[in-house]
Amino acid sequence: MSTGDQNPQLQLDALGSAGCARVFQDVESGGVEDRPGLLQALEHLRQGDALVVWRLDRASRSISHLIALAKEVRGRGAHLVSLTEAIDTQTPGGELIFHVLAALAQFERSLIRERTRAGLDAARARGRIGGRPRLLSQSQVDLARTLHERKSHSVAEICAALGGISRQTLYKSLSRVKT
């Protein structure tokens, strides 16, 4: 699973139905190569075993890592099986389909990354910036700057007057260039 708030039950049920004797889990993105559960699964592989995954992207999101993983599994005398894609690298056809789907998965991931970047660039070009909205308006920042420069009020008093903001928020706002 990529995040802790996802429910693995669908994957666990499919692996159980496939007759998996042992299940290893990770709560990290498939893009992370050195995951403890994956490493444990590889350590337990023996001659004639199968490393069964629910989907190929659960094993890896990078074609180079996925191919390296399949090679390591093969080097241990085992084979890779993906339940969702119905791939078994024990057969020549399964090996071919594995490589084709791995390439398509990498291509899809690259397209998603490209579209995300294009969307962010387009939003920035329209003047939109990401992140959390600022707590203080420009007029509040100007007031805070005036009070702070005059030293007529303490930092605690300025923070309280601006709605109980934190000192950190005040200092970040004061360091902001006037827009």
Task: Single out the residue of 15, 86, 76, 88 nearest to residue 49, CA to CA.
Answer: 76
Report d(CA 163, CA 136) in Å as an integer.
Answer: 9
Task: Single out the residue of 152, 149, 154, 150 nearest to residue 167, CA to CA.
Answer: 154
Catalytically annotated residues: 2
Tokens encoding 138: 């420009």
- Phi, then psi, of 92 in degrees rounded to 5: -60, -40
Give the C-alpha distances (Å, rounded to integers) separating 9 from 18, 26, 50, 59. 14, 13, 21, 17
The strand order across the sheet containing 79-82 reads 50-53, 79-82, 87-88
Report d(CA 138, CA 142) in Å as an integer.
Answer: 6
